[in-house]
Every structure is written in structure tokens, then in C-alpha cells.
Amino acid sequence: MTDSHKSLFFLHDDALRYHFYADHPFDQRRIEMTQDLLFQIGALYPTEQVQAACASLEALQLNHREDYITAVKELSQTIPDPDYLVRTAQYGLDHEDTPYFEGMHEAASAIVGGSIAACEAVMEGKALHALHMAGGLHHAFPDKAAGFCVYNDASIAIASIRKKYGARVLYIDTDVHHGDGVQWSFYTDPEVMTYSIHETGKYLFPGTGFVQERGEGEGFGICVNVPLEPYTEDDSWLSSFRDTIGRAAASFKPDIIVSQHGCDAHALDPLSHMHCSMRIYQEMPAIIHQLAHTYCNGRWVALGGGGYDIWRVVPRAWSLLWLEMIQHPLAAQLRAEPLTPLPAAWLHKWQHNSPTPLPTTWLDDTSDWTPMPRRELIEKQNSHIVTLAQEYIR
């Protein structure tokens, strides 16, 4: 494999310090567990990880207001400025979802820097694919934090691509929560297509992402949303994804794909209502991978995102993503043998910390899962949404 065809794995140590409080659902141990799982199978070595620089003020300002960045900096201090403590609500940093914490600016800037560096590596031909699993904080707005997200690394990285390279960007968001911050950042931009498949906002944060949200002005028709019903299962999720993302990519013809891989549509995730298995986290990266080679000469940057069963779901899902990116032999093996055992050493190491028994196989054995009683109605509604989304794609 030549240097221009390798995949790069980005992670800044400071990104692991992105931590709100002890029992907050956003827990960066999921990254450490994923790293360790990949180390155990020889799919990643510590020396292969790329440490990117933290994002500069200029980079942060590609998506965030200067006064908001200043507020984040001030609230990151050991003893915050009292003038900013009384304005935390103004900046969305006052409640249990996204409260300010010491070192917040540095940790969030490290995450942004990793996503920018991953995109630049691919755009400059240093790598064909790049993964930055600490990224994907897609809910932050220019002037406000939201949904566990302080800075919107995805929006900043995409804005950087547009400014530096003038490339057309297809953003694919597979998090169970709508990628609202990224959508609104580029809602009028005809050069950035935002695509999001998620649980409908009728029942789940952030309450947006309806199929009728299609962009405005010159960007009308460049925004694609596929909101699915609660308790959607694998077959319906995957058919909805395949039937819309392929058409979107063919219509838009991007120069690069930036994808967000929140893995919280799994049945075990505590913050959503979906009933999918690990299978969708095997199949979606493969579909995106193929699209990248079909339309972008392979240029593909993958980011992390949500995922709140950090023990049983996230390490497997994000490992499957990396295995697909590097075309590791295990990725092909798992198609034939989905119940291949996880490494015993990894299970032994992490079971001591996990409050629940860890899964023992790479994919889930769904043979004893109880089928959803409303399956037919759920699939019918999802099919209706897919039809609308297909009609709306410009």
C-alpha cells in the first residue's frame, strides 16, 4: 500500500479530557476501550496514532462567534470569571447536558484540531481515508453549546475544507440524534450536502431533522433528512439508509465524504428508542466506503459521535468502522462468521470495570431478541419517509 492509499487514525491525548462530570453519559473511556480492542487484534498500534495540533482561534471562528469562544475559555479556568458565571445560560453551558468544566476549551479545541487534521490529510493526499473517533460533536451552534457538544468540530472541519480547497462536501450523519448543528451551518450552501438518518425528532432530542427540512436559498434540495420511527430494527434502518444515501451521493457528486458515526441507534443504548443491532455498524461503513470510491476517488473522513452504552456497543461499533476503512481481513471474516469471539484478553481486562456482562462476540446474536410488535407499522412509516426523501433529493 502506498502512502497515498493508507488510512490514518487521529487522536489527541487532550481529547480524552473532554469530561463533564462523574456520571455524565458522555464518557471517553469508550475511546480507550476501542483503542485497546484494536490493539489486541493487531489492527492498530500506538505508534500509528497521529497527534494533531489543537485548533487555532481562527479555525474555531469558522463556525463559532468570538464572544462564545471567549466565554468557553473563561469558563474553562480553575476559578472562572464571575462575569461569565452569571451568563452560562446564554451560552448553553449551565445545565446537566452540557455544563462547563475545567479545561473545557483545551479539550474541545483538541477535538476540533483532530477533525481538521484528518480532513487535511485526505485532501492533501497523505491518506485516502482518515478516522478521528473523538470527533463528531454535531450539536454545537455558533453561539451556544448543546447536546454534550461545546465546539462543532464537524462544521469547522467542513468549513475549513471549503475555504482551503473549495471542495464539494457530502456530510453523512448516522447518529440516532439529528445532526442539527451541522445542518444549520450549511443550510443555504449548495456546495455542502448534509444527510442525516436518525430517530424522528417527534420523540428524541434535538426535536429537528424532519424530512421537509431541505435547505434554503441556493442550498434548497441539498439537505436530506431520513427520520425513522422509534423501535426501528436492522432491516428497516439499513434499507432506509441504502435507498436514500446512494441517491443523494449520485445527485450531489461530492469531492470528499465526511461521515459521523454515532452508534446510539443500538437497542442497548440508554438515550434512544431504536432496536438495531451491531449489524448496522458493520454495514453502514461498508456502504459509505463504496460511495467514497465511486464518487470521491476514495476520499473519506470518518468521525465518532454519540454512543452511550460504552461497554457493550461503542468499542465494537467503532472497531468495525476502522476494520472497514483499512480493509482488515477480520472485516471479511465477520461477514461469514458474525459471531466470531472477541479477544479473551480484552474481555478479561474490561469486564472488571463494566457494570454489566460484556458481549463475547463481534456482532450480536439476535436469534433470541423479541421482535417488535409494531414492526409492520414501523416499516410502513419508514418506507413512506424514504419515498418522500427520495423525491426531495435534488
Q: What is the pLDDT of residues 179-213, one digit of tens each?
A: 999 999 999 999 999 999 999 999 999 999 999 99
DSSP tag of 149 = B
**pLDDT tier for residue 2 given thresholds of 50, 70 and 90:** very low
Three-state secondary structure readout of 322-361: HHHHCCCHHHHHHHHCCCCECCHHHHHHHHCCCCCCCCCE
**pLDDT tier for residue 288 given thresholds of 50, 70 and 90:** very high
Q: How far apart are CA 251 and CA 375, in angstroms?
A: 31
Strands 300-303 and 223-228: unpaired
Q: For residue range 48-72, list pLDDT tens digits in order.
A: 899 999 999 999 999 999 999 999 9
The tally of CA atoms less than 13 A away on the side-chain side of residue 196 is 34
Q: For residue range 210-230, list pLDDT tens digits in order.
A: 999 999 999 999 999 999 999
Report the pLDDT value the prediction gives residue 177, as an integer from 0 to 100.
Answer: 98
Q: For residue range 235-264, list pLDDT tens digits in order.
A: 999 999 999 999 999 999 999 999 999 999
308: Cα separation from own chain's centroid: 13
More confident residue, 281 or 394: 281
How much is the pTM? 0.97
Picking from 173, 108, 191, the residue whose alpha carbon sits closest to that of residue 182 is 173
Report the pLDDT value the prediction gives residue 3, as an integer from 0 to 100.
Answer: 41
Q: How far apart are CA 285 and CA 129, in angstroms?
A: 12
Q: Are 195 and 172 in contact (CB under 8 A)?
A: yes
Report the pLDDT value the prediction gives residue 246, as an integer from 0 to 100.
Answer: 98
Q: Are 279 and 363 in contact (CB under 8 A)?
A: yes
* Single-letter code of the amino acid located at 60: L
* Single-letter code of the amino acid located at 267: A
Picking from 126, 99, 147, the residue whose alpha carbon sits closest to that of residue 262 is 147
Strands 169-173 and 256-260: parallel
Q: How far apart are CA 239 and CA 378, in angstroms?
A: 13
Q: Give the active site residues.
A: 139
73-88 average pLDDT score: 96
Q: For residue range 308-367, list pLDDT tens digits in order.
A: 999 999 999 999 999 999 999 999 999 999 999 999 999 999 999 999 999 999 999 999
**pLDDT tier for residue 4 given thresholds of 50, 70 and 90:** very low
Q: How far apart are CA 185 and CA 319, in angstroms?
A: 29
